[in-house]
Structure 1
Amino acid sequence: MRPKELIYQWVELFNKGNADELAELYHEEATNHQVANEPVKGKKSIEKMFREEFAAADMVCIVEHIFEDGEWGILEWKDPVGLRGCGFFHIVDGKIMLQRGYWDKLSFLRKHNLPIPTE
């Protein structure tokens, strides 16, 4: 599967809040590093991360642009509450090996009425 196709599938599963199926898009040893947080390593840990995030906030990803270059895909997104960000996906053998996301964590926490860490 090409990176662009996989990212469209990722967005569809993300918007359904389906942590199980979303995790199936990742390699067993994948890394998901949302730069506002510590990297999450391993498919099972990534599934757990999504499960916890879907339970904490109602998140929606609206595609603005998807770009593809070889094994890499880039997703520019927005959401209904005004947040914007981008994600970089390294696709190896049709699975996500590395995902890196850039977004404003403080704005996310405020928009979703979540606690803001003091440290």
Structure 2
Amino acid sequence: MKPKDVLRKWVEFFNRADVDGLVTLYHEGAINHQVANMPIHGRVAIKEMFEREFAAAEMTCIVENIFEDGDWAIMEWKDPLGLRGCGFFQIVEGKIILQRGYWDKLSFLRQHNLPIPKK
């Protein structure tokens, strides 16, 4: 599969909150770094992250643009509540080895009525 195809599959699983499906797309030693949070290392930890996140909030990814450059797939997205962001996925041999996401965490927490951490 080309990187764009893997990313489209990722969006499909994400929008169904299908954690088991999502983790099949990651390399065993993958890194998921949502820059508003600390990096997550390894498929097991990524699975646990998705389980926590889907339990905490209903999330939907509406794709605005998908780009591909070599082994990278890049996505601009929005959600139904107005949050926008972008994600970079490095995909080698059909598996995500690095994911980096940029979005406004404070807006996300407020939109989902989640607690705002104290510094």
Q: TM-score range by the shorter chain?
A: over 0.9
The one-letter code matched in structure 1 to 2:5 is E
Runs of 4+ in 1 over 2 A off after TM superposition: none
Q: What is residue 96 of structure 1 aligned with on the other side? A: 96
Match of 1:17 in 2: 17
Displacement of 1:21 in angstroms is 1.0
The amino acid across from 1:39 in the alignment is: P
Task: In structure 1, list runs of 5 or more residues that go unmatched.
Answer: none
Counterpart of 2:107? 107
- 1:1-119 counterparts in 2 under 5 A? 1-119=1-119
Unaligned runs of 5+ residues in structure 2 are none
TM-score by length of 2: 0.99
Query: Please, what TM-score do these two structures have when normalized by structure 1?
Result: 0.99
Aligned length: 119
Distance 1:51 1:75 in 2: 22
Deviations 1:15-62, CA, capped at 9 Å, x for gaps? 000111101100000000000000000001001100100000000000
Among the aligned pairs, what percent are the same residue? Answer: 67
